[in-house]
Chains A and B, each alone.
Chain A
Amino acid sequence: MNDAVTWPALLLLGGLHGLNPAMGWLFAVALGLQQRAPKAVWRALLPIALGHALSILLVLLLVGLAGLVLDGQVLRWVGAGAILAFGAYKLLRPDAHPRWVGMKVGFRDLTLWSFLMSTAHGAGLMLLPLVLPPSGHADALHHAAHSGHLMPSTAPVWAGLGAVAVHTLGMFTVMASVALLVYHYVGLTILRQAWVNLDRVWAAALLAAGTATLLWR
């Protein structure tokens, strides 16, 4: 976990998640417009980030628990299989996620919404190549052989929490920046002009994460 790649990568992946309108900044902008108050944008960003963090934490906890019973190499195969399958699913059915028809939302609603959306989009899964223990030695950045040490059983809990914190920091920074830029300066026209199909980018990122889990380290 302490190599020079993992932490920046966690931060950057957070940025990617924060960039996705479906993960929250757009909701924050809409609430700000609906209430005619920049404060409403800020009020929305915190619970959205919290929900995202909880979703990431859930995945790391599950991986940690799985690591208690699975061999490191098996865990890596299972993890990679899960991400690849989920990525393929999101590629075929980008619309598949919880339905949430609601604009009158409070802190709890937004936290839950963000948790559900992040989980349903596999946000936590995307981090697996970074947080799964290397196949060889813990500090190795090379393709090593098997029987590695599992992060959950060897690394302290703070490493997992640190991963969530760094990722969420990246997510929050990008999400807040985009939300405030759009709300104050850019305006809604941007939604018609520059909205890349992030469902496809997201699915591709999941597939890349799955591949990396198989091949990296």
Chain B
Amino acid sequence: MSSRTFRPDPTFYPSPSMAQSAPRETLAYVVEIDATGRTPDALVVLDLDPSSPTYAQEVGRLDMPNLGDELHHFGWNACSAALCPTMPHPHVERRYLLVPGLRSSRLYIIDIKPDPRQPTIHKIIEPQELEAKTGYSRPHTVHCGPDAVYMNALGSPSGDGPGGIFVLDHTTFDIKGAWEKNRGPQHLSYDFWWHLGHDTMLTSEWGTPNMVEQGLNPEILLAGGYGHSLHVWNMRTREHVKTLDLGAEQQMVLELRPAHDPRQTYGFVGVVTSLADLSASVWLWHLDGTEWKIQKVIEVPAEPADPADLPPLLQGFGAVPPLITDINLSLDDQFLYVSCWGTGELRQYDVSNPFEPRLAGSVHLGGIVRRTGHPRSDEPLTGGPQMVEVSRDGQRVYVTNSLYASWDDQFYPAGIRGWAAKLDVQPGGGLTLDPDFLVDFGEKRAHQVRLQGGDASSDSFCYPNP
């Protein structure tokens, strides 16, 4: 039972505009992967308090009890959606991180309450239980919903499709089962999120486990076989409503970032690459009357490169693709951050007018060819800005550099040394590197960052901004 009686969890905010006033984060949680599988993956705690002597250092960690999980995306058991009026649970706590192993299909429920710097394992759900109760494997994205924790999975236990969403109780963590009642043509799975104010769920497409686990398969890619659609769902009936096809040349439609204001009906999705010219893009979905539509609003071109500087996979193209692997939207819905993992760039777009994004800032770090360094590193950086997380007040942006172990090795064959960096957002737009913040994970790889108390991609809201 929750220990809270008189006030809701103080990290819950009714509206996104109220969440922007949250106190500054002082800790970050990062999943750290051993790509060799020789030591366990870990959840690492970073100190984000600039007045602390251990600023930008590891101050705690939890090593998993198994090898080879490949921890990936993770999320909270509860968040601001618990205040939603349809069934408010304001006294449930944002206390547990649900951390799935993308390769092992094992799910760790991690308690950060007794000591936020020393997380402990509260419960482990083994892959057999996940498979038996949902028919899914390779759990991927976690979102705390109004009524439960929602997670999705890339595919079936055999490694084929379909992938989809399943639901867990947000206090007992019992798996309640698969979410979809009628999936229609949906088969591939990657990300999901929703417009709570409009009873609408959106899901995106990568590939089945068999299509992605051995690395990017050039044959599938050139045949346009990876995901190129977005799916719209009715959240109440749990039925597929519409497929928004971006065209087969748009390969890998990944991260979904709906507007945080629940009155709005638009959002952004990143596309890794185009078969036509290796460009990457961001598309805008929006509700036009009663019809959901999608259009390209950002295109980042590939950069010409000497084939000698490129990994074997790209040598034939003579260009380095930007590879938009993650995007993130500030809580005020004003700035969209776009990771170009291939060229090693984080871009900031002003999306006040979502139909016409305007480039407002850019920082280079790493990159396949560019290998931009950092003031705190003697060596050029490997990898590039990949997972990106924005603080609730929108003033700080954190990035990590690893994508997915087998894909890291294809695009950065010399190896990736894990790092996390911080960028500062200038008032009104513009990005600068924090020269004092670089966390070196050594031979281990850093994937997603979550900020203590919530961040710009951890909460959803039922009450509109004023």
Contact = CB atoms under 8 A, between A and B. Distances in A.
B148 A34 contact: no
A193 B7 CA distance: 6
Given A27-B85, A191-B8, A196-B5, A103 B198 contact: yes
A71 interface: no
A89 to B, nearest CB: 13
Contacts of A104: 198-199
A33 B464 contact: yes
Contact of B5 (A30, A98, A194, A200): A200
B147 A34 contact: no
A113 interface: yes
Nearest to A190: B14
Contacts of B1: 92, 94
Q: Which of A92, A191, A195 has the most CB of B within 10 A?
A: A191
Interface in B70-98: 83-92
A143 interface: no
A113 to B, nearest CB: 7
Contact-size category for B: 35 or more
A21 interface: yes
Contacts, number: 94
Interface string A11-48: 00000000001100011011001100000000000000
Interface string A87-110: 000001011011111111000000
Interface in B287-322: none
Nearest to A194: B7
A27 B198 CA distance: 14
Given A34-B464, A95-B89, A200-B5, A191 B83 contact: yes
A103 B199 contact: yes
Contacts of B18: 188-189, 192
Given A22-B87, A200-B5, A101 B92 contact: no
Contacts of A27: 85-86
B84 to A, nearest CB: 8
B452 to A, nearest CB: 18
Nearest to B10: A192
Contacts of B235: 101-102
A153 B14 CA distance: 49
Given A100-B87, A101-B147, A197-B5, 20 more contacts: A21-B85, A27-B86, A33-B463, A34-B262, A34-B463, A95-B89, A99-B147, A99-B148, A101-B145, A103-B199, A104-B199, A188-B15, A189-B18, A192-B10, A192-B12, A194-B7, A195-B8, A196-B5, A197-B2, A197-B90
Interface of B: 1-2, 4-8, 10, 12-15, 18, 83-92, 145-148, 169-171, 196-199, 235-236, 262-263, 462-464
